[in-house]
């Protein structure tokens, strides 16, 4: 008898009766299948930063078996054992890895880390990335060649998203779903960023705190955002700065400014540096107020990341930003009205304006990874701003009826301001993160100290036909006079805990649930607020291209310096003081969304429809003039904001996104029993962003930006709380950018110069006169006229970009 476990078939067939041959063959074949044991392979696929890679392919070609990772980067697959089993892990944009398992048995577990593949000439995207939370990821590829007015590329991308609006190309600020500028939180590497306080017009605005050359990742949420984002009512912008894999550099120069960026990479560190210079003197020359504009803005940022070991990392960010705005006006001539009723407003000026805004920001973060799934971070930061706004401007004006040359008003006005503000915010933040099999838990605790000193004096005198306005016949009064001398010293404690739970069957319905709560206390008004939040994404089993999302939460607008300023008027002088009884404004979000992924002309696309309702209470009424938001100090309003946003999004050109958005909205407030539109009530908005190459070449590229937004409501000055009875005309603008790739060495890694782009931008290509504010003049009969302040006209900007 043969002692081998699997004997030679031919010997058995020879010695056995032929009647037993076929049953014996079947028996032996089954026994081989039994002893060729199956085993289970499971594990997780991450990138180099230990972030999960979803929908990565796990395959064993020899056995014809394949699966994909879930939203947590996890996978499980049944395979047959053999002397060696070859398993391949791959994902578009990453270098594939292969693992050979020797005689595997039972349960096998692998942790795979894939490195980014930066050598691909062209990445063919087969499907759009799925959004399972309320934060959308926006690609950074569009920041370099897009036509830009402000030089703040990230904010200009945000302004073109669904539910977002702007009415001034000179400003990087934006409104989200009926919210004011101050209702948007911004984070850089987990640290909340602050803006200057005294800026009142887009002309004064400098470079924002976000350097687009240093950005690696952009996350943006228009509502229903997670508990880790601070106490703002409208939106959250989350910026992550890059850690380059190798040396890289970019230099760009244009008629509106210049920038330079250098990124270094070593074995244990990365270091990026960016410097920007901006002067919109050329652009401001197209305004109707003529004169000498001397705006200069500079910004330097550095980001150092040091990793002495796998378990420890240190991240340091530094930023110095200076903005000087000097303006000496000479004259202005504006025509406005209708075709049948045209009025002409002409002014001759004396005086000048000199403004200075200097901000400093720094942060240091130390992270310790206890394991690959558990880490703790201690983050310290400091922000300081020193601001001065000083102007003495006198204007002598004539208002005439063009058709009849009738004088409607002749007068003089004089505006004076000496506003000084110094602010400091220091913070310390502790963060704990833990990733379990299907949970991603995060906890944060923050302590902030705030110190602000303000000393402001403003007044305006108006004289019409020799009479001071307001005219009493007995005394001389200013039409407006304000004084403020305030100091704020306060401490703020914030804490949050949240969890992202992914569950469901791989071949069935899958769910992503984010839930959490936020707690905050402010020593100034002794207020404690609790903010629960939750969102759920559902991928149905019957169609994996569909995602349903719902979200809700209680959101607060914690008061800061602007919201605290309350005013009282005594003998014609308005005094601004800090209201210690001011409470947080409140908004309850209800959001429902539908996402659908599909292909159009072979290219992956995504359609999103999102409806929302925000129940507003404890509102502090405010007015907006240009970009200056003035609050009235008391929580005396309620209201709502409701609407729908639609977005179709995809890559018509490989590697470059394009989108079309359409929004409808109603935003109203109730004050003293009267319902009026909020100052941000934009009833509709359309944004188009389109990128394409010229046919037959990848050297010529075109970028088109189109904005069409309903005008905002407004009222006569110092009557904003009564009723917003007027509405500005719609904001309409088209910017077109043409770029030519002069040198292309992307496939020649040894070349020092990687790309040289020459660009030509047509700004406000159609030359539309957009209005973002009004100047009001009053005649002796107390009749008021609203003279529109037009924005920039058609301009051409040339630029060159060199990538190393």
Over residues 168-227, the pLDDT tens digits come to 888 888 999 999 888 999 999 999 988 888 887 777 788 888 999 999 999 999 999 999
The pLDDT score that the predictor gives to residue 466 is 55
- Separation in Å, CA 602 to CA 428, 698, 703: 50, 19, 21
Give the phi and the psi of residue 652 in degrees, each rounded to 5: -70, -30
Integer Cα distance of 222 and 614 in angstroms: 12
Task: Report which of residues 273 and 65 the model is more confident about.
Answer: 273
Q: pLDDT band for position 465 (50/70/90)?
A: low
pLDDT exceeds cutoff 60 at 321: yes
pLDDT digits (tens, 9 = 90+) for 545-582: 899 999 999 999 988 888 888 878 777 788 888 888 88
The pLDDT score that the predictor gives to residue 12 is 39
Please tell me the pTM assigned to this model.
Answer: 0.80
pLDDT exceeds cutoff 90 at 273: yes
Task: Report which of residues 491 and 784 the model is more confident about.
Answer: 491
The pLDDT score that the predictor gives to residue 238 is 93
Least confident of 408-412, 539-543, 792-796: 408-412
Q: pLDDT band for position 617 (50/70/90)?
A: very high
pLDDT exceeds cutoff 70 at 721: no
pLDDT digits (tens, 9 = 90+) for 218-256: 999 999 999 999 889 999 999 999 999 889 999 999 888
Q: Which residues contact 47 (CB under 8 A, 6 or more apart)?
A: 53, 94, 113, 114, 115, 116
pLDDT exceeds cutoff 60 at 137: yes
Report CA dihedral (611, 617, 621, 622) to the nearest 10 degrees. -40
Compute how many other C-beta atoms are within 10 angstroms of the C-beta atom of residue 206. Answer: 27
Q: Which residues contact 23 (CB under 8 A, 6 or more apart)?
A: none
Nearest CA to 681 out of 693, 696, 656, 664 is that of 664
Decide if 461 contacts 238 (C-beta within 8 A). no
Q: How many Å separate Cα 240 from the centre of its chain?
A: 11
Task: Report which of residues 214 and 473 the model is more confident about.
Answer: 214
Question: Residue 87: exposed, middle, or buried by beta-carbon count in 10 A (0-12, 13-18, 19+)?
Answer: buried
pLDDT exceeds cutoff 80 at 653: no
Angle at alpha carbon of residue 248, lines to 702 and 763, rounded to 5°: 25
pLDDT digits (tens, 9 = 90+) for 776-798: 776 656 677 788 888 888 888 88
pLDDT exceeds cutoff 80 at 762: yes
Task: Report which of residues 726 and 363 the model is more confident about.
Answer: 363
Decide if 634 contacts 198 (C-beta within 8 A). no
The pLDDT score that the predictor gives to residue 207 is 86
The pLDDT score that the predictor gives to residue 490 is 93
Q: pLDDT band for position 125 (50/70/90)?
A: very low
Mean pLDDT estimate for the chain: 84
Integer Cα distance of 204 and 678 in angstroms: 25
pLDDT exceeds cutoff 50 at 3: no
Q: What is the mean pLDDT of residues 30-34?
A: 45
| Selection from 153-157, 347-351, 534-538, 716-720 with the highest mean pLDDT | 534-538
Decide if 210 contacts 192 (C-beta within 8 A). no
Integer Cα distance of 700 and 121 in angstroms: 17
């Amino acid at each position: 008898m043969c002692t081998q476990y699997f004997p030679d078939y031919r010997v058995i067939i020879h010695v056995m009766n032929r009647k037993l041959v076929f049953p014996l063959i079947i028996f032996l074949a089954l026994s081989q299948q039994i002893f060729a044991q199956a085993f289970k392979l499971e594990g997780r696929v991450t990138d180099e930063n230990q972030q999960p890679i979803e929908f990565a392919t796990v395959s064993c070609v020899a056995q014809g078996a394949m699966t994909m990772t879930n939203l947590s980067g996890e996978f499980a697959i049944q395979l047959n054992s053999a002397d060696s089993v070859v398993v391949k892990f791959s994902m578009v944009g990453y270098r594939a890895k292969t693992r050979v398992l020797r005689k595997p048995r039972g349960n096998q577990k692998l942790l795979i880390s894939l490195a980014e593949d930066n050598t691909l000439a062209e990445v063919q995207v087969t499907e759009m990335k799925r959004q399972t939370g309320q934060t959308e990821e926006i690609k950074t590829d569009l920041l370099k060649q897009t036509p830009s007015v402000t030089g703040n590329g990230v904010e200009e991308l945000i302004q073109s998203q669904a539910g977002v609006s702007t009415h001034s190309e000179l400003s990087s600020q934006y409104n989200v779903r009926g919210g004011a500028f101050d209702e948007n939180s911004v984070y850089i590497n987990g640290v909340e960023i602050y803006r200057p306080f005294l800026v009142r017009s887009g002309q004064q605005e400098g470079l924002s705190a976000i350097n687009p050359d240093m950005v690696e990742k952009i996350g943006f949420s228009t509502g229903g955002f997670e508990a880790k984002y601070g106490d703002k009512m409208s939106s959250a912008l989350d910026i992550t700065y890059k850690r380059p894999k190798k040396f890289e550099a970019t230099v760009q120069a244009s008629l509106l400014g210049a920038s330079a960026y250098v990124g270094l990479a070593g074995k244990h560190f990365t270091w990026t540096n960016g410097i920007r210079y901006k002067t919109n003197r050329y652009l401001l020359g197209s305004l109707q107020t003529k004169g000498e504009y001397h705006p200069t803005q500079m910004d330097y940022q550095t980001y150092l990341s040091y990793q002495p070991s796998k378990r420890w990392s240190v991240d340091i960010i530094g930023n110095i930003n200076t903005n000087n705005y000097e303006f000496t006006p000479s004259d202005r001539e504006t025509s406005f009205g209708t075709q049948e009723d045209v009025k002409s407003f002409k002014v001759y000026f004396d005086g000048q304006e000199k403004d200075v805004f200097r901000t400093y920001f720094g942060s240091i973060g130390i992270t310790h990874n206890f394991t690959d799934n558990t880490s703790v971070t201690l983050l310290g930061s400091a922000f300081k701003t020193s601001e001065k706004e000083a102007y003495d401007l006198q204007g002598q004006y004539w208002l005439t009826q063009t058709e009849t040359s009738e004088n409607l008003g002749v007068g003089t006005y004089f505006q004076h301001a000496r506003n000084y503000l110094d602010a400091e915010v220091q913070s310390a933040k502790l963060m704990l993160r833990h990733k379990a099999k299907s949970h991603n838990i995060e906890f944060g605790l923050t302590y902030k100290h705030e110190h602000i000193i303000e000393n402001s004096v403003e007044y305006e005198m108006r004289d019409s036909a020799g009479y001071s306005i307001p005219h009493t016949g007995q005394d001389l009064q200013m039409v407006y006079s304000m004084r403020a001398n305030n100091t704020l010293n306060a401490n703020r404690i914030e804490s949050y805990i949240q969890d992202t739970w992914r569950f469901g069957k791989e071949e069935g319905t899958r769910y992503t649930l984010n839930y959490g709560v936020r707690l905050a206390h402010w020593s100034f008004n002794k207020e404690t607020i609790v903010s629960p939040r939750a969102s759920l994404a559902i991928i149905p089993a019957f169609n994996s291209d569909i995602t349903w999302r719902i979200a809700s939460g209680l959101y607060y607008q914690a008061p800061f310096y602007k919201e605290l300023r309350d005013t009282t008027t005594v003998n014609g002088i308005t005094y601004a003081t800090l209201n210690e009884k001011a409470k947080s404004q409140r908004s309850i979000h209800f959001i429902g969304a539908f996402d659908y992924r599909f292909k159009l002309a072979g290219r992956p696309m995504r359609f999103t429809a999102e409806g929302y309702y925000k129940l507003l209470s404890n509102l502090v009424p405010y007015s907006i003039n240009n970009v200056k938001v003035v609050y009235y100090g008391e929580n005396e309003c309620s209201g709502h904001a409701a609407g729908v946003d639609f977005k179709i999004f995809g890559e018509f050109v490989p590697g470059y996104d394009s989108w079309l958005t359409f929004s409808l909205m109603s935003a109203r407030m109730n004050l003293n029993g009267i319902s009026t539109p909020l100052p941000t009530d934009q009833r509709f908005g359309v944004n188009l962003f389109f990128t394409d190459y010229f046919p037959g070449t990848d050297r010529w590229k075109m970028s088109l930006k189109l904005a069409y937004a309903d005008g905002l409501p407004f009222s006569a000055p110092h009557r904003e709380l009564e009723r917003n009875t007027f509405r500005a005309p719609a904001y309409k603008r088209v910017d077109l950018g043409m770029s030519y790739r002069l040198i292309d060495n992307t496939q020649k890694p040894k070349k020092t110069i990687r790309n040289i782009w020459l660009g030509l931008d047509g700004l406000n290509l159609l030359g539309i006169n957009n209005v973002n504010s009004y100047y009001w003049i009053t005649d002796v009969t107390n009749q008021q006229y609203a003279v529109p302040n037009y924005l920039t006209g058609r301009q051409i900007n040339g630029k060159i970009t060199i990538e190393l």
